[in-house]
Structure 1
Amino acid sequence: MDDIRLVIITGMSGAGKTQVIREMEDLGYFCVDNLPPTFIPKFAELCSQSAGRVSKVALVIDTRGREFFDTLIQVLEDMEKQGIMYEMLFLEAADETIIRRYKESRRRHPMAPHGRISEGIARERERLDRVRGRATHIIDTSGLKIAKLKEKIVGLFASEREFERMNITVVSFGFKYGIPLDADMVFDVRFLPNPFYVESLRRKSGAAAEVGEYIWKWPITQQFMEKLGGLVDFLVPNYIKEGKSQLIIAIGCTGGLHRSVFVAGRIYEGLRDKGYKVNLEHRDIKHNDVEEHPGRC
């Protein structure tokens, strides 16, 4: 089962397992929450028989499993004898942090459903002591912001290839039809010279060579593209480092036919040439009467 990366997530209740499992899902892991330990070997075997469709698995195993949880140590020892490789991430936090989180969520602690939270924490620490000793990675989430936790998870469990290949979409649009609701960054290029006022270019899109030549010939376009390209080159790696899995860059002009299409195409080409996984969409060309299909810039 060497082709399966199996991560077992456990630790203190209120230490952030729910947030971690969300991040693992974003990294492409098949995630199962609150799985009884006895099912781990069989589940790993099923994944190994998936013909590569499931190659990364994250399982949350914690004290919510009650008496089932007590079998975890024995299951791990059996897995090691069988040669089933795994990693274990143990999450912990200070007592005061866990108490505050439970007070804010108004939930009951699983180890003290009818008692004080502090009593439940003490019982759980004792019960988890041996499990913690087997952890591959330990993260203390006390005072840790979500963005920092995400950065740690990405650093531990994202392969280099995944880390460098966030999904990016560059979309052109027309402001008259509204800004894309899912855009992370929006750039307004209505200040650039407009081919609409050139009769021979009016019904051609920004993907047409002659329209691109017209827009590009102006010094303001060249200056803007240099600055915009530099900004995108700076932001994208930092978004990846932060753990973002999808980025939408929206370029808008008045009608979404000329300037936004041209600029979006240039940004797309720049990102593609740097090896990023990037898609190009021209959202509003369909609203315009054009002489030819815009194709891909």
Structure 2
Amino acid sequence: MNTPAPTNDDTDQTLIVVSGMSGAGKSVALKTFEDLGFYCVDNLPAELLPDFVRGVARDDGMPEKLAVGIDIRSRSDLANLPQWLSAVGALGLDPRLVFFDTHDEVLLKRYADTRRRHPLSHLGLSLADAISLERQVLKPLRTLADVVIDTSTLNVHQLRRQVITEFGLNSDAKLSLLFESFAYRRGVPADADFVFDARGLANPHWNAELRPLSGRDAAVREFLEAQSEAGEYVAQVASFLDTWLPRMQSDTRSYVTVAFGCTGGRHRSVYLAERLAAHARERGWAEVAVHHRELD
């Protein structure tokens, strides 16, 4: 039995296709959409886009907002993306393609800073050549895009704010929060409004089983939560934020960055950023995002 396709007559569904250059901020954008209530899927093979929408439509209570990441990692022929977008349109959605771009010299610096591999590095290309080839392959998508966002001069939080502003999302929110983790050895984030030092807490790095993990992992959380000092730290920072964030909102601030630092930026700071972000959501803050500088 075929499932009826959703139509614009009875839904207000949104589909945003996130594409662009590797290192230009697509992951941050998708995370932002997720924080704003979108059902998000990253690295979807492009030819599966119509099937994905049909599959979600078969679920009870299809999400009203969808965001899908499609980029150079896709094994599909991206030149066929227009026909797949048309197929989605026939299902009743009006897809929007958003392309994130960045100057080549900025991409080179970002890869040098993060030491991450370019998706095309398996071809044996230099980083500069991989970026050049990616730009060539994605040129038709950039031309097709409904919106092109240049992130060359944007930090993480500025990019997040631009995504929110560009799409008119959650416009009633007066204050958005970013909880960020970092390593002190690479410097304090320049845009941080509050900085909390976690180096006084027990360091999971010295536990051989925990060393390869991060503060996102249950074993690291359990290790830290077994320390009374960690509980006191979380309670005191939560109390501080509960007192001062509402006052900053009333002062017409649009966003606040709360940063947690430790030696390597993998365990204690990551745990605290995640834990305090969860606390903020529990307190009713609508726009809460998390960024781990040394992991993301």
TM over 0.5: yes
1:265-296 superposed Cα distances (whole Å, 9 cap, x missing partner): xxxxxx99xxx88xxxxxxxxxxxxxxxxxxx
The Cα shift of 1:248 comes to: 5.4
Which of residues 186, 191, 200 in structure 1 aligns to 2:240? 186
Q: Is the 8 A contact 1:93 1:140 kept in 2?
A: yes
> Could you tell me how far apart the structure 2 residues matched to 1:68 and 1:138 are?
21
> Could you tell me how far apart the structure 1 residues matched to 2:241 and 2:46 are?
50
The one-letter code matched in structure 2 to 1:235 is Q
The Cα shift of 1:116 comes to: 1.0
The one-letter code matched in structure 2 to 1:118 is A
Which of residues 242, 246, 253 in structure 2 aligns to 1:232? 246
Which of residues 37, 47, 50 in structure 1 aligns to 2:56? 47
> Could you tell me how far apart the structure 2 residues matched to 1:134 and 1:180 are?
47
Which of residues 145, 148, 169 in structure 2 aligns to 1:135? 145
- Partner residue, 1:149: 159
Which of residues 85, 88, 95 in structure 1 aligns to 2:104? 95
1:102-143 superposed Cα distances (whole Å, 9 cap, x missing partner): 222323322343111111122111211111122122111112
Q: Is the 8 A contact 2:44 2:68 kept in 1?
A: yes
Q: Is the 8 A contact 1:8 1:89 kept in 2?
A: yes
The Cα shift of 1:83 comes to: 4.6
Which of residues 6, 12, 18 in structure 1 aligns to 2:15? 6
Give the alignment's Cα RMSD to 1 decimal: 3.7
> Could you tell me how far apart the structure 1 residues matched to 2:62 and 2:254 are?
24
Bigger Rg, which one: 1
Structure 2 unmatched ranges of 5 or more: 1-5, 178-230, 259-275, 287-296
**SS in structure 1 of the partner of residue 16 of structure 2:** strand
- Partner residue, 2:93: 84
Equivalences for 1:179-258 in 2 at 5 Å?
A: 180-181=234-235, 183-184=237-238, 186=240, 232-235=246-249, 241=255
Distance verdict in 2 for CA 1:237–1:31, change over 3 Å: farther
- Partner residue, 1:18: 27
Q: Is the 8 A contact 2:36 2:170 kept in 1?
A: no
> Could you tell me how far apart the structure 1 residues matched to 2:112 and 2:241 are?
42
Percent identity over the alignment is: 27
Distance verdict in 2 for CA 1:50–1:95, change over 3 Å: same
Q: Is the 8 A contact 2:19 2:100 kept in 1?
A: yes
Using the size of structure 1 for normalisation, the TM-score is 0.57
Using the size of structure 2 for normalisation, the TM-score is 0.57
1:190-214 superposed Cα distances (whole Å, 9 cap, x missing partner): xxxxxxxxxxxxxxxxxxxxxxxxx
The Cα shift of 1:147 comes to: 1.3
1:46-75 superposed Cα distances (whole Å, 9 cap, x missing partner): 333434352111100001113443432331
Q: How many residues align?
A: 205
The one-letter code matched in structure 2 to 1:138 is V
Q: Is the 8 A contact 1:32 1:58 kept in 2?
A: yes
> Could you tell me how far apart the structure 2 residues matched to 1:119 and 1:26 are?
34
> Could you tell me how far apart the structure 2 residues matched to 1:182 and 1:40 are?
46
**SS in structure 2 of the partner of residue 133 of structure 1:** helix
**SS in structure 2 of the partner of residue 63 of structure 1:** coil
2:80 is equivalent to residue 71 of structure 1: yes
Distance verdict in 2 for CA 1:166–1:237, change over 3 Å: farther
Q: Is the 8 A contact 1:89 1:137 kept in 2?
A: yes
Deviates more, 1:104-113 or 1:147-156: 104-113
Which of residues 100, 122, 125 in structure 2 aligns to 1:115? 125
The Cα shift of 1:187 comes to: 7.7
Q: Is the 8 A contact 1:32 1:60 kept in 2?
A: yes
The Cα shift of 1:16 comes to: 1.1
The one-letter code matched in structure 1 to 2:42 is D
> Could you tell me how far apart the structure 1 residues matched to 2:236 and 2:57 are?
36
Distance verdict in 2 for CA 1:127–1:100, change over 3 Å: same
> Could you tell me how far apart the structure 1 residues matched to 2:247 and 2:143 are?
43
